[in-house]
C-alpha cells in the first residue's frame, strides 16, 4: 500500500486492512477540504521561499484539476493507497513529477488531517445552523398561527393546567435558540487553525502560520503546536455536544408528537401519506417518521460520550485511535441533517385539533384558573384552593368562565387573562426571534 510514511518496508495485508478500516470511504468527504488546505499551505511555502512562483502555479493547477474530479464525482482513493492525503499527493506526482513531492514540506499528516477535519466541520456547522434557522422559522409561524387554540398541559403525565398550541410550539422555538448558542460555541472551537503544528512539535522551516490562517478564513491559529494536536477529540466532542443539544430538542418534540397523534389524545394530525400502516391492523396510522427521529436523535446523543471515551486515557500527541472519531461523528452529522429537515417537512403538514375541550374530561385543567379567579374576588388563596379541591373530589367542580357560546369548547387562550412574559397571552415571539438572531450570528 502506498502511504505518505513509507520508508521502504510494507505492512502485511492483514495489518493494512485492520488499521485502515473504512477510513478511505469516510475520507472522500474530506477531499475538497484536503485540496483547500493544500492550496493555502503551498501558497505559504512560496511566500517563505520554499517554492518558486512557477512551481506554485503548476501545483495550484494540479490541485484545481483534482478538485474538478472531486466535484464531478470521479475522484476515488485507489485500492493500494492508504488515504485521501496519499491519493492527492500521488495524483500530483503523477501529473507533475518530483514537483508533486514538494507539497508536503513543512507539514505532517497530523496537522493536514486536523485542518481538513476543521474545514469540513466548519461547513457542516454552517449547514446545521441554516437547518435550525429554517425549523425555528416554521415553529414560530405555527406558534403565532395557533396561539389562541387551547391545549391540555401535563405534569407527571397527568392533566395539569391549560396550555396552548402557541405556547407548545413556541417553547421548542426558544429551545432552539439555546441549542444555537451551543453550535456557536462549537464553531469557536472549530474555527482555529492547526496547520503548521506539524506532528505536534512545530517545524524548523520558517512557516508563516498567520498567512495560512488568513487564507483559510480561520479566526486565529491554535498557537501552541502541542495544543493543536490536543484538539484531536476535543474538537469532535465540542461538535458532538452541540449536535446532542439539537438532537435532545428534536427527540422531545418527536415524543410529544407521537403522544399527541395517538387516538387516546387526538391533539394533532398529519396526512395519511405521512404515516404508515400495519400489515394486520387496517386502522393503524403509525408515527414512524417521529419514531425514527426520536431513535436517531438518541444515537446522536450517545456520540459525545463515545468520543470522550475514545479520547481519554491517551497521553498528548497523536494516536491511531483518533482515526475512529470519524466513524462516530460523520454519521451523526448526516443523521442530524436528516432529522432537522424531516421535522420541518412534517410540521409543514401539521393539523391541530380545535375541538379538544368539547370533552368534559379536560374541565379539571381549569382548577388553578378557578382558584385564582376566586382569590382575585377576595377569597384568601388557601381557602379558595381548599374549596376547589373539595368540589373536584365530590365531582361538582365547574370552571366559572366559558367561551362565547357558553361552553368550555369555545374558550380561547386569550380568554384566560394570562398576560405575563412567556404566558398563554404573551408568547414573546419577537423577543425569541431576537434571541435567535443574536445566537446565530457567527
Domain of 68, CATH number, reads 1.10.275.10
> What is residue 311's predicted lDDT score, i.e. its pLDDT?
87
Please tell me whether residues 160 and 176 are part of one structural domain: yes
The segments of the chain whose pLDDT lies below 50 read 2, 5
Is 377 a member of any domain? no
The last residue of a domain, from among 323, 354, 385: 354
The last residue of a domain, from among 47, 71, 105: 105
Please tell me whether residues 127 and 96 are part of one structural domain: no
C-alpha dist (Å) from residue 359 to 6, 81, 401: 76, 68, 16
Please tell me whether residues 182 and 271 are part of one structural domain: yes
What's the angle, vertex CA 156, arms to CA 154 and CA 161, rounded to 5?
25
CA nearest neighbour of 111 among 43, 206, 198: 198
Give yes or no for a contact between 241 and 311, defined as CB atoms under 8 angstroms apart: no
Please tell me whether residues 149 and 278 are part of one structural domain: yes
Is 34 a member of any domain? yes
Cα dihedral 80→82→86→91 (10° resolution): 30
Is 411 a member of any domain? no
Outline where DSSP puts E strands in 80-190. Answer: 150-155, 158-164
- Count of domains forming the chain: 2
Give yes or no for a contact between 234 and 311, defined as CB atoms under 8 angstroms apart: yes
Please tell me whether residues 100 and 171 are part of one structural domain: no
Please tell me whether residues 27 and 72 are part of one structural domain: yes
C-alpha dist (Å) from residue 150 to 184, 216, 316, 424: 35, 51, 57, 9
Outline where DSSP puts E strands in 109-218. Answer: 150-155, 158-164, 192-193
Please tell me whether residues 37 and 179 are part of one structural domain: no
Is 163 a member of any domain? yes
Is 300 a member of any domain? yes
Please tell me whether residues 188 and 83 are part of one structural domain: no
Is 171 a member of any domain? yes
CA gyration radius, the chain: 29
Please tell me whether residues 150 and 296 are part of one structural domain: yes
CATH number for position 322 = 1.20.200.10
Is 394 a member of any domain? no
Query: Which residues does the annotation mark as catalytic?
Result: 156, 278
The last residue of a domain, from among 354, 382, 413: 354
Please tell me whether residues 177 and 291 are part of one structural domain: yes
Task: Tell me the CA end-to-end span of the chain in Å, nearest whole number.
Answer: 42
**Structure-block grid coordinates of residue 163:** 396550555
Please tell me whether residues 286 and 337 are part of one structural domain: yes
Is 436 a member of any domain? no
CA nearest neighbour of 28 among 63, 65, 69: 69
Please tell me whether residues 328 and 310 are part of one structural domain: yes
**Structure-block grid coordinates of residue 270:** 398529519
Residue with cell 393546567: 161
Please give the residue range of the domain that contains residue 77. Answer: 13-105
> What is residue 5's predicted lDDT score, i.e. its pLDDT?
45
Amino acid at each position: 500500500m502506498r502511504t505518505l510514511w513509507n520508508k521502504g518496508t510494507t505492512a502485511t495485508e492483514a495489518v493494512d486492512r485492520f488499521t485502515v478500516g473504512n477510513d478511505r470511504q469516510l475520507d472522500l468527504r474530506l477531499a475538497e477540504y484536503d485540496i483547500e488546505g493544500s492550496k493555502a499551505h503551498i501558497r505559504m511555502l512560496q511566500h517563505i521561499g520554499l517554492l518558486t512562483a512557477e512551481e506554485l502555479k503548476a501545483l495550484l493547477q494540479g490541485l484545481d484539476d483534482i478538485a474538478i474530479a472531486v466535484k464531478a464525482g470521479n475522484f476515488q482513493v485507489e485500492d493500494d493507497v492508504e488515504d485521501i492525503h496519499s491519493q492527492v499527493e500521488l495524483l500530483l506526482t503523477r501529473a507533475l513529477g518530483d514537483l508533486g513531492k514538494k507539497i508536503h514540506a513543512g507539514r505532517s499528516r497530523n496537522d493536514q488531517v486536523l485542518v481538513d477535519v476543521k474545514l469540513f466541520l466548519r461547513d457542516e456547522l454552517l449547514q446545521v445552523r441554516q437547518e435550525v434557522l429554517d425549523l425555528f422559522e416554521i415553529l414560530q409561524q405555527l406558534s403565532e398561527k395557533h396561539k389562541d387554540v387551547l391545549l391540555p398541559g401535563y405534569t407527571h403525565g397527568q392533566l395539569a393546567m391549560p396550555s396552548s398550541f402557541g405556547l407548545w410550539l413556541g417553547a421548542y422555538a426558544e429551545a432552539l435558540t439555546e441549542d444555537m448558542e451551543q453550535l456557536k460555541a462549537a464553531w469557536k472551537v472549530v474555527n482555529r487553525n492547526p496547520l503548521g503544528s506539524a506532528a505536534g512539535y512545530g517545524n524548523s522551516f520558517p512557516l508563516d502560520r498567520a498567512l495560512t490562517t488568513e487564507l483559510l478564513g480561520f479566526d486565529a491559529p491554535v498557537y501552541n503546536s502541542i495544543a493543536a494536536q490536543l484538539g484531536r477529540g476535543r474538537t469532535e466532542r465540542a461538535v458532538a455536544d452541540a449536535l446532542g443539544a439539537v438532537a435532545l430538542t428534536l427527540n422531545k418534540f418527536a415524543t410529544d408528537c407521537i403522544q399527541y397523534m395517538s387516538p387516546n389524545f387526538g391533539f394533532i394530525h398529519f396526512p395519511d401519506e405521512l404515516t404508515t400502516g400495519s400489515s394486520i391492523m387496517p386502522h393503524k396510522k403509525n408515527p414512524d417518521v417521529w419514531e425514527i427521529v426520536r431513535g436517531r436523535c438518541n444515537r446522536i446523543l450517545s456520540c459525545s460520550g463515545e468520543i470522550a471515551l475514545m479520547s481519554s486515557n491517551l497521553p498528548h500527541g497523536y494516536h491511531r485511535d483518533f482515526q475512529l472519531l470519524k466513524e462516530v461523528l460523520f454519521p451523526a452529522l448526516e443523521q442530524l441533517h436528516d432529522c432537522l429537515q424531516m421535522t420541518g417537512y412534517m410540521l409543514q403538514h401539521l393539523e391541530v385539533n380545535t375541538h379538544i375541550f368539547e370533552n368534559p374530561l379536560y374541565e379539571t385543567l381549569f382548577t388553578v384558573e378557578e382558584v385564582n379567579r376566586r382569590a382575585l374576588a377576595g377569597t384568601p388563596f388557601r381557602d379558595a384552593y381548599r374549596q376547589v379541591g373539595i368540589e373536584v373530589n365530590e365531582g361538582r367542580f365547574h370552571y366559572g368562565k366559558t367561551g362565547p357560546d357558553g361552553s368550555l369548547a369555545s374558550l380561547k387562550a386569550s380568554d384566560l387573562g394570562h398576560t405575563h412574559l412567556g404566558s398563554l397571552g404573551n408568547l414573546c415571539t419577537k423577543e425569541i426571534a431576537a434571541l435567535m438572531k443574536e445566537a446565530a450570528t457567527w
